[in-house]
Amino acid sequence: VRKGYSKSRNRIFIVHRLDRDASGLLIFVKSEEAKRRLQGQWPETKKTYVAVVHGRLEKPAATISSCLMENAAHRVYSTADPQKGYLSHTAYKVVQQTRDLALLEIDLLTGRKHQIRVHLAESGHPIVGDRRYSKDGKAYKRMALHAMALSFKHPASGKEMTFTTGVPDYFTKLMGKVEAKTVSPHPPSPPEPTIKK
């Protein structure tokens, strides 16, 4: 706002972030109080992503759970020591599959750094275009991870609000035609977790 008009006293505040190469919804607010309230409810905020991953998945839906930690090179990975990592859960369902790729709808049950990317990569299905956690990430022009839906309570009124966006064109180029009705704003309740150690 200030870049547009240097004398303006208006400010905007960012509530959360996306991974650098990801796309999708971001929340901006006009006051620090609104930012504080939204960040306070962030663990309860419903966050839905879509991703295109390598390989075919055997289970139509599952939850990946592990304790995540970060090394000195800022690379996140799972550890078997719960004292060192943060327990994290990522639920997914398969929306569409080809011979080599799968389109997933993902419910981010916790919000650790690179959580979705690490859980999928360690399960043998790295995200297409992920240059950090996929061996052939550089072969693609961008990472196929998109924040598709957010649901939260308005910081002032408390009214439940939901914002959604469609599946990116890049995903349809990878997968072929994606039926809109197959991708819901939020996935169903996840099944019992599959514990990954």
Enzyme catalytic residues: 19
CA–CA distance, 186 with 151 (Å, rounded to integer): 9
- DSSP-based three-state secondary structure for 51: strand
Phi then psi dihedrals of residue 153, to 5 deg: -90, 135
| Helix, strand, coil distribution of the chain in percent, nearest 5 | 15, 35, 50
Tokens of 188: 């169903």
Beta bridge partners of 13: 29
Q: Which is nearest to 19 in space by CA: 97, 120, 98?
A: 120
